Amino acid sequence: MSEQAVRYEIDAEGIATIWLDDPISSANTMNADYIESMETVISDLENDCGNDKAKGVVIASAKKTFFAGGDLEVLHTLTPDQAGEAFSMVEKVKNQLRRLETCGVPVVAAINGTALGGGLEIALAAHRRIAVNDRNLKLGLPEVSLGLLPGGGGITRLVRMFGIQSALMDWLLQGQQRNPEAALKKWLVDKLVDSPDQLLPAAHAWLKGNAEGPESHLQPWDRDGYKIPGGTPASPELAAILPSFPANLRKQLKGADFPAPRAIMAVAVEGAQVDFDTASRIESRYFAKLVVGHNAKDMTKAFFFDLQSIGSDDLRPASVDKFSAKRVGVLGAGMMGAGIAYACATRGVDVILKDVSAENAEQGKAYTQTLLEKKVSKGRMTEEARDEILARINATEDASSLADCDVIIEAVFENAELKGKVFAEIEEVVGADALLCSNTSTLPITDLASRTKRPADFIGMHFFSPVDKMKLVELIVGEETSPATLAHAIDVVQQIGKLPIVVNDSRGFFTSRVFGTYVLEGAAMVEEGLDPVVVDRAGTKAGFPSGPLTLLDEVTLSLPRHVAEEARKAAESEGTVAPETPGLSVLDKMVDDYGREGRAAGKGFYEYQDGARTRMWPELRTIFAPEVPAQVSAEDIADRFLFAMAIDTARCFENNVITSSAAANIGSIFGIGFPPNRGGAAQFVENYPGGMGEFVKRADVLADTYGERFRPSEWLRERAVAGQGLGS
């Protein structure tokens, strides 16, 4: 067997097979070995086609996945002065694929496993795509989520297959990933087979039946008379709606700086006006510009490298056997408890859902039924699958039903006394080795653990609402939490399909604490006399999913006041000074003087009708804004939001609340909405343009202008001078 990353063989019937088989990796990527060996293979194929030896070609993978895509390890290191190298590299890859699809014989891609990014682009260069009908197999071009665009011909080919609008909306702008059945319905895949064993025979059968067929060896865009589906930008029908595309994209991005989707749209539109090869070069130029840019570096770090780290065992204590939960007891059937029960049951775990009454427990189970019914109605789930999941949830008021549970997750109201009482009730019932978890967003875990008889088995397991949509779970280690407890908690979180980050105990932990700095900075701006509408819109323009005032309404205006008061009491008891809390006077006035507590109360910074937000409360300007609103630059407003969270993230590292930059990035993006285009709160500090020294300088300017809360600590200054990141 050759040690090349791409192998070539041809049988007696003239069927050539190109095997994608990296000898030193478990997955195929477009690394240097691939490019070099593919060049040799394509040359061999061209010779065989020229001699009429090859009658057809199959592209197949010897790995479990078809092809993983570009080599991000290499792409991530490219600098702006290497843009020309990036262009040349991607042009070489595309030249090989272009020679493949124009080799003169029909080509079939036999897709045995997931094909994302560059992997799908290889398949798109084939004349037919056959895939195994496996729901776990994914097909798509997710580059936009990494701040990139598909640079291996993906945009150019999809536009010519489906037209500009369908290519953008169905595959490119959101990086959708679909299973084979869904891809077949979207005409990306031509045929499905039931098992991997049937894949190559199906490919061979098509080649033998079509090798002599008219134009079977030509892509649609290489045939005479071809026209792009839906027309080009010069077509009257498309020209009439084309101006709405960038407007809709801007609306979706809320004005935030995401270069990749804009570049993808530009490539699609510009490329549709020229021939294939010119369109391909346009795509390469945009790719080269993106891949060396700051945004792609940040997003690739977070959404590839950091997610890989979180999904691995990097955060898990070594030498602890893997644990798999068989039955989870959820204490409290409110919205959070019901969501946790849903998350467990949909992943095959039995659940005992307990509340103070059977009626409350059944209402919690009904939450799962409601979510599942929506899936059934949309054809995404069968009735049998729905019933199977519901059967896993046993709603009860009887604590003795928890006896066989190996994991307990408490999800009652955020009150330490109540949580202690709940654990005291069940502690004598459950087994001595059951994992004890508290879903709390702010209460110190060490204190909660001290209210139980088994503090070593106790850990914080902070879910985010709504649990069915939010992927993050923050695990909080108390002073006595054992390594085995932490390891098993990580196992449980991953078992139910969530992303675990690990933090140490402190008030507010990492996510709740850092989240508070964003929303309170918005309140502080209102206090200073900035227009409230400008403040809220500035948040989304900076890349946050929602403005700070919108979020304050969602969490209720009373919560930050309660958190600040608890922090003040804790500081007094410890003989320290409570941290600065800007904007509280605004919340005090909103709640105490006007009774506006947020969305749950039907009125806050915004007005609501039937639970839906309608408009910002008109009296806000009258109450808080002077006749001439305060003027602060858009750059300063955005930086105040970003730096407030980043500076507090740095404090969390300094105080050993969190130790992993990957956890801080994933936690801040997936848990509390830090702008994903910045790569996370830690990445914002560590990869600030010009380096951490420039971050410190900018923070000092903000501190001089807006308050000492922005002042970097000596610890952070020393790290910046040493060129050392936040994590240990």
| Residue 404 DSSP code | T
Q: Give the active site residues.
A: 121, 143
Contact 560, 582 (CB under 8 A): no
Q: Which of 678, 22, 31 is nearest to 306 (CA)?
A: 678
| Euclidean distance between CA atoms 252 and 255, whole angstroms | 8
Q: Tokens for 674, please give them.
A: 């830090």
How far is the C-alpha of 316 from the C-alpha of 670, rounded, in Å? 20
What letter would DSSP give residue 34?
H
- Delimit the CATH 1.10.1040.50 region(s) of the chain: 512-722
- What is the spatial distance between Cα 647 and Cα 383, in angstroms, rounded to a whole number? 50
Classify the C-alpha dihedral 354-358-364-369 as positive or negative: positive
Q: Are 260 and 144 in contact (CB under 8 A)?
A: yes
pLDDT of 628? 67
Rounded Cα–Cα distance for residues 341 and 97 (Å): 48
pLDDT given at position 676 = 96
Distance, CA of 147 to CA of 260 (rounded, Å)? 5
At a CB cut-off of 8 Å and minimum separation 6, what does 627 contact? none
Q: What CATH class has 327-505? A: alpha beta
CATH 3.40.50.720 range(s) for the chain read 327-505
- Residues 315 and 235: their CA atoms lie apart, in Å, by 55
Q: What is the pTM of this model?
A: 0.92
Residues 673, 554 contacting (CB under 8 angstroms): no
- 116 pairs with which residues across the strands? 140
Instruction: Give ∠ CA 281-286-291 in degrees, rounded to 5.
Output: 120
Predicted local distance difference test score (pLDDT) of residue 587: 95
CA nearest neighbour of 147 among 302, 303, 308, 295: 295
Measured CA to CA, the distance from residue 540 to residue 547 in angstroms comes to 5
Residue 572: what pLDDT? Answer: 76
DSSP class of 49: H
3-state secondary structure of 285: helix
Residue spans in the chain of domains classed CATH 3.90.226.10: 6-218+225-292
Residue-wise DSSP of 493-512? HHHTT-EEEEEE--TTTTHH
**Helices 558-574 and 511-527, axial angle in degrees (round to 10):** 110
Q: Which residues, other chains included, contact 693 with Cβ-Cβ below 8 Å and sequence gap of 6+?
A: 720, 721
The CATH number of the structural domain formed by 6-218+225-292 is 3.90.226.10
Query: What are residue 189's phi and psi, to 5 degrees?
Result: -110, 145
Beta bridge partners of 6: 20
CB 30 within 8 Å of CB 152 = yes
Segment holding 612, helix H or strand E: strand 612-616
Cis peptide before 675 (omega within 30 of 0): no
CA dist 602 and 610 (Å) reads: 8
Q: In the sheet where 327-331 sits, what is the strand order?
A: 393-396, 350-354, 327-331, 407-410, 435-438, 458-463, 472-477, 499-504
Cα–chain-centroid distance for residue 49? 44
SS3 435: strand
- Which helix (H) or strand (E) is 107 found in, with range? strand 107-111
Give the residues across from 18 on adjacent strands. 8, 59
Please give the backbone phi and psi of residue 623, each rounded to the nearest 5 degrees, phi first: -80, -45
Sign of the torsion angle spanned by Cα atoms 78, 81, 85, 91: positive
For the segment(s) 512-722, the CATH number from 3.40.50.720, 2.60.120.280, 1.25.40.10, 1.10.1040.50 is 1.10.1040.50
> What is the rounded distance in angstroms from the CA atom of residue 406 to the CA atom of residue 346?
18
Q: Which residues of the chain are modeled with pLDDT < 70?
A: 1-2, 211-214, 578, 628-629, 728
Q: Of 243, 382, 258, nearest to 678 (Cα)?
A: 258
Q: Do the strands 458-463 and 435-438 form a parallel or antiparallel pair, or are they unpaired?
A: parallel
Residue closest to 139 by CA, chosen among 175, 166, 105 = 175
For the record, the structure tokens of 451 come out as 């209210």
Structure tokens at 594: 């006007």
Strands 191-193 and 128-132: parallel
